[in-house]
Each structure stands twice: as C-alpha cells, then as structure tokens.
Amino acid sequence: MISRWETGVCVPDTLNLFRLAVLYRTMVEALFGEHLQQVRTELTEKEQCYFPNSSEEAVSNQERDRTFSTPSW
C-alpha cells in the first residue's frame, strides 16, 4: 500500500494517514516530506502573481514555515 503512495499511484485516505503517523511516531505533516514544501512554494509563487503587494506577508509566512517545520527525527 505504501509503495503505491510512494510511486504516485494513489494517496492514503485521512484515517490511514493518522494510522501511519501513529505507527511511525511522527506527525501527519512529516509523512508528506518534500511534497509539502513543494506545495507551499508553489502556493507562495501563485500568491505573488495574484497579490504582488503582499510580499511582506509572504516573508512572514516563510518565517512561520521555518518555525513550524516538520522535525527530522
């Protein structure tokens, strides 16, 4: 099941995400690894296209992301 997720064939449902997080003793966010950071970067870039004057807010969001980044246990 996990190999299908790793290859991009499917994604686990919400309940299975929580089960995996408990199994691996981590947070759900940590299961997404690089994908989560990639999505955040893409969203920030799109926000800058639609809201060019919100660069200060984007910087504060980046600082927030560093503060609440997933732990590397």
pLDDT tens profile 14-73: 898 899 899 999 988 888 777 778 888 888 888 888 877 765 555 566 666 665 555 555
Contact of 30 with 23, CB cutoff 8 Å: no
Could you tell me if 55 and 68 lie in one domain?
A: yes
- Domain around 12: 1-32
Residues with Cβ < 8 Å from 55, sequence gap 6 or more? 48
Q: Are residues 13 and 27 in the same domain?
A: yes
Q: How far is CA 73 from CA 26, 27, 32, 70, in A?
A: 8, 11, 14, 9
pLDDT given for residue 61 in this prediction: 61
Residues 37 and 68 both lie in one domain: yes
Domains in the chain: how many in total? Answer: 2
Please tell me whether residues 21 and 46 are part of one structural domain.
no
Provide the 3-class DSSP secondary structure of residue 27: coil
What is the three-class DSSP state of 7?
A: coil
